Structure 1
Amino acid sequence: MEEWFGGPIMEKLISTGFEYLKRQARWQTGMKEELERLRENYPKIQAVVLASSQAQITDKNSDLNKWLWQLRDAIDEADDVLDEFEYMKHENQLNENKEQTKLRSAMSSMKKGIVKIGKRALQIDPLLKKLEEVVKKLDRVSADVGNFLHLLESTKQEQQEQLIDLYKTRETGSLPKNDLIGRVKEKEFVMQWLRKPSNENETLSTSTTSYGSNISLLSIVGHGGMGKTTLLQHVYEDEITREFNLKMWVCVSNNFDVKKVIRDMLECLKMKKPDLESLESLQRSLKSEVIAKKFLLVLDDIWEESEEQDKSKWENVLAPLTYGSLGSKILTTTRMDSVALMIAKVINKKKETFRLEGLEEDACLHLLNNHAFANVENPDVHHPKLRSIAVEIVKKVHGSPLAAKVMGGVLNSNLNERHWMKVLNSDIGNGEMGRNDIFPI
């Protein structure tokens, strides 16, 4: 129901009410308390309306549903009164313009002024009465917002769980969707690693014929939203990877299934889904594809559930790959050092990781501005104040590229200084969670 919520209408009603009271005699302050309460309750009302819509809980909560309809009715009435105020303001302006063209005597002007003040003092103005009524009605409805504030915490938890499930089950491809901003050194490190020939010292065993001695492994480790996938997408598409006979990109995600991972490898190599069903047939097919060939494999977004169970699964996945040629490389992305260690053990390697930290602030600002001012010409000229606000906002994302993109999208939805200041003054990104995770942002 949030699409009907007239947030700007409430803001305008509050500001109009206070402005109108200033023009009344000092003793006419009947609306002041109601307006103060409305101003205090406004952010709570916004939060409850948004939460109720996103969580789709109105059907389960009849009291909330009833309150939302009462709120909607009061806001509709407020909108009508504000329309009348706009019309009155327009009429008064026209009359003032006409009066300016006429010559009136000082006495006549004084007389009219006295009549005007008298009408205000006696509350003859019918619009003032309407304004008071609609403010009181909205105040009565908004007073009940406290009964529904408890929904916010449960809704927040539910949404975070949904985001986590979505993030864990996402699917990534090898083609980059965005430019690689602020990661020149990181990309060069990975490319230098790809150029490096296989080193026998990487293996845990001194035997050159030890299991997995033909494969080098590098794990990119970092918090969610740090751009691990984007970095490897740009590496995967670089010309340097042409030196490999075979290339495979597999998104593992949270629902790790041995057969699916091997099928995805075979689909990358054959450009079609294999018809094989058993693990044995899938392993043999992959072995026949990679045997005596130098391959590059990217295993993106690996999670860990049970170390022993996952280790057994990875042994089945990686067994066919040990038949590849010397110089074959595996790149993985994960949030967890334990995952990097486990896969290294499976192919008898020393753990080699590259930790991806947050972007430098200037690079993060560049990324945020790219999204905040998307399709905007000359933002330096047309939106200089917004550019300066962005400098402060970017500190809230703590170097996270994904957070910068998300925040940029939020800002781009409304290129208004007031909206941007609300984002700046929000508490998003102020805790430890903000530094370690994309979900709060």
Structure 2
Amino acid sequence: MADWFVGPVMEKLINTCFEYLKDQARWQTGMKQELERLQKLQPKIQAVVFASSQAHIRDQNPALNKWIWKLRDAIDEADDLLDELDYMKHKQQLTKNKKQLKVRSTLNSLKKIGKRALKIDRNLKRLEEVVQKLEKVSSDVCNFLPLLESTKQELQEQQLELYKTRETGSMPKNDLIGRGKDKEFVMQWLRKPSNEDHSTLYRNISLLSIVGHGGMGKTTLLQHAYEDEMTEEFDLKMWVCVSSNFDAKKVIADMLEYLAKERPRLETLKVLQDSLRFELMSKKFLLVLDDIWEDEEENDKIKWENVLAPLAFGSLGSKILITTRMDSVALMIAKVIKKKKETLRLMGLEEDECLQLLNSHAFADVENPGDHKKLRSIAGEIAKKLLGFPLAAKVIGGVLNSSFDESHWAKVLNSNFLSAELGHNDIFSILRLSYMFLPKHLQNCFAFCCIFPQDHWFDKDDLVRMWIASDFILPPCIRGEAAEDIGGRFSNARFNGYT
């Protein structure tokens, strides 16, 4: 997590130092050279820090571990000095006598220039020491660049783990493109009457599993089915995102919260089960269990038995829809409720459907998309490389939508992330592409959000204030515009692929 503060602090330090050096005499060129070297090293430093923090390789590489701590110490020292200089600057602005300002401004400027020329400016001396220390540490970064390639696979695996902990909601965000037949299959299944079987505990319940690789649109499909007016015939509806390493009590609590619109107190498993059984007693319900993973089959089976036990008290015609990437999960859930496995497998979209989805995002809010013939041609070439992945089409469409300059679209087309064929496990290359094409200031703001725990609900204004305190908000470029206003725009910016 260290990588998000390295860039902003170094950028501010370099800018602050260059500002101080404006009035320097010609013999003060050494510090400028150090700053220029820091600017060149900064991308490499961030890459190594990111790789080390994500891949957890420092324990296996003592030299890297030692260097990271030296870098952290130099960054912390620089950050402390910058905070102190900011405080002094604001204090001086507050204490200035407006009547004497015009008279003294020229004298103060001359005095400041004189001090700097004589190299007795205390702040400049402190900045110089901080820069020298950071430049000395940073120069060793080249020793660790070979580690970047060796940790690539581990980074992809950890990205997969992060994706497994996502949170989903029941409301569809976009039109359903390319999944019309799949939705009709689901709706027909929902309409199909259940055959009552008195021999099993779960005789009133039917189960359908939606199986497909990540990014195939399983969640989107069920969002549209869940919100279809036909589902209003159910007495109760529940949507729960499960993800990996789930806890039976949490899943039941999520169901109760969806029904009662408030979070139940953390009770024992039995109390939660009894509460859910009471809510579902003799009522026809529709339950969506989204994004189910399997970690340990036997352990998960026991947890699912605890989760599903209260559902047996629903009335005839109750339905359960699940999404998963694994056939083994669909089979396990079917065994728990003693049902024959029914599966809808999602495959990639047809190329024309993928292009339609890509264009719907790339030309969002454009009045006459047909006028952009060259861009539409480039979009067609991009769509061929996406292999029918709906998520990839949405993400890349969002990246394209950020600029309608032909060179931008060509850059996306020729990107290394798209140069090789997209495989089933490379959807994270597409997600990373959307991050890489964000403006630098939005990258910092977005990466900052990783400090929040999973499923954390934060206040927008609080987040903006934290961005300001971390110097992620640049000085206002519009006269009269507050930093809070700029941060508000940033928070509303479209973090393509992550919203």
Q: Considering the TM-score relative to the shorter chain, is it more than 0.5?
A: yes
Residues 340/430 of structure 1: CA separation in 2 closer, same or farther (3 Å cut): farther
Determine what percentage of the aligned residue pairs are the same residue.
70
Residue 423 of structure 1 pairs with residue 419 of structure 2: no
Question: 1:191 — aligned with what?
Answer: 187
Q: In 2, Cα distance between the equivalents of 1:314 and 1:333?
A: 15
Question: 1:313 — aligned with what?
Answer: 303
Question: 1:352 — aligned with what?
Answer: 342
Aligned to 1:300, the other structure's residue is in SS state strand
Aligned partner of 1:392 among 371, 381, 396: 381
Q: In 1, Cα distance between the equivalents of 2:152 and 2:142?
A: 17
Shift of 1:276: 5.0
Contact in 2 for aligned 1:48/1:148 (Cα 8 Å): no
Question: 2:263 — aligned with what?
Answer: 273
Residues 228/46 of structure 1: CA separation in 2 closer, same or farther (3 Å cut): farther
Q: In 1, Cα distance between the equivalents of 2:320 and 2:251?
A: 14
Q: In 2, Cα distance between the equivalents of 1:178 and 1:190?
A: 18
Residue 164 of structure 1 pairs with residue 160 of structure 2: yes
Residues 311/415 of structure 1: CA separation in 2 closer, same or farther (3 Å cut): same
Where do 1:265-414 residues align within 5 Å? 265-275=255-265, 277-381=267-371, 383-414=372-403
Shift of 1:166: 2.4
Residue 180 of structure 1 pairs with residue 176 of structure 2: yes
Q: In 1, Cα distance between the equivalents of 2:422 and 2:410?
A: 22
Question: 2:24 — aligned with what?
Answer: none
Shift of 1:234: 0.8
Aligned partner of 2:239 among 249, 254, 258: 249
Contact in 2 for aligned 1:223/1:335 (Cα 8 Å): yes
Contact in 1 for aligned 2:202/2:312 (Cα 8 Å): yes
Q: Which one is further off, 166-175 or 364-373? A: 364-373
Shift of 1:339: 0.1
Q: In 2, Cα distance between the equivalents of 1:329 and 1:314?
A: 16
Residues 335/150 of structure 1: CA separation in 2 closer, same or farther (3 Å cut): same
Residues 221/309 of structure 1: CA separation in 2 closer, same or farther (3 Å cut): same
User: Which amino acid is the alignment partner of residue 183 of structure 1?
Assistant: R
Shift of 1:165: 2.8
User: Which amino acid is the alignment partner of residue 387 of structure 1?
Assistant: R
Q: In 1, Cα distance between the equivalents of 2:329 and 2:415?
A: 35
Question: 2:132 — aligned with what?
Answer: none
Contact in 1 for aligned 2:208/2:322 (Cα 8 Å): yes
Aligned to 1:397, the other structure's residue is in SS state coil
Alignment TM-score, normalising by the size of structure 2: 0.58
Aligned to 2:378, the other structure's residue is in SS state helix
Contact in 2 for aligned 1:396/1:428 (Cα 8 Å): no
Aligned partner of 2:225 among 229, 235, 252: 235
Aligned to 1:322, the other structure's residue is in SS state helix
Shift of 1:389: 0.8
Residues 2-35 of structure 1: per-residue CA shift (max 9 Å, x gap): 7899xxxxxxxxxxxxxxxxxxxxxxxxxxxxxx
Q: In 1, Cα distance between the equivalents of 2:204 and 2:420?
A: 45
User: Which amino acid is the alignment partner of residue 153 of structure 1?
Assistant: E
User: Which amino acid is the alignment partner of residue 253 of structure 1?
Assistant: S
Alignment TM-score, normalising by the size of structure 1: 0.65
Residues 400-431 of structure 1: per-residue CA shift (max 9 Å, x gap): 11111111222233433233223222342565
Residues 45-89 of structure 1: per-residue CA shift (max 9 Å, x gap): 998577357558799758x98xxxxxxxxxxxxxxxxxxxxxxxx
Q: In 2, Cα distance between the equivalents of 1:196 and 1:308?
A: 32
Aligned to 1:351, the other structure's residue is in SS state coil
Q: In 1, Cα distance between the equivalents of 2:7 and 2:266?
A: 49
User: Which amino acid is the alignment partner of residue 160 of structure 2?
Assistant: I
Where do 1:81-96 residues align within 5 Å? none
Q: In 2, Cα distance between the equivalents of 1:151 and 1:416?
A: 36
Residues 362/164 of structure 1: CA separation in 2 closer, same or farther (3 Å cut): same
Gaps of 5+ in 2: 1-5, 12-39, 54-63, 72-139, 431-499
Contact in 2 for aligned 1:223/1:437 (Cα 8 Å): no
User: Which amino acid is the alignment partner of residue 410 of structure 1?
Assistant: V
User: Which amino acid is the alignment partner of residue 162 of structure 2?
Assistant: L
Q: In 2, Cα distance between the equivalents of 1:418 and 1:49?
A: 28
Q: In 1, Cα distance between the equivalents of 2:229 and 2:66?
A: 56
Aligned residues: 321
Q: In 2, Cα distance between the equivalents of 1:324 and 1:50?
A: 54
User: Which amino acid is the alignment partner of residue 409 of structure 1?
Assistant: G
Residues 49/397 of structure 1: CA separation in 2 closer, same or farther (3 Å cut): farther
Residues 314/369 of structure 1: CA separation in 2 closer, same or farther (3 Å cut): same
User: Which amino acid is the alignment partner of residue 343 of structure 2?
Assistant: T
State the structure with more CA Rg.
Answer: 1
Shift of 1:213: 1.5
CA RMSD of aligned residues (A): 3.3
Question: 1:113 — aligned with what?
Answer: none
Residues 433/361 of structure 1: CA separation in 2 closer, same or farther (3 Å cut): closer
Residues 50/376 of structure 1: CA separation in 2 closer, same or farther (3 Å cut): farther
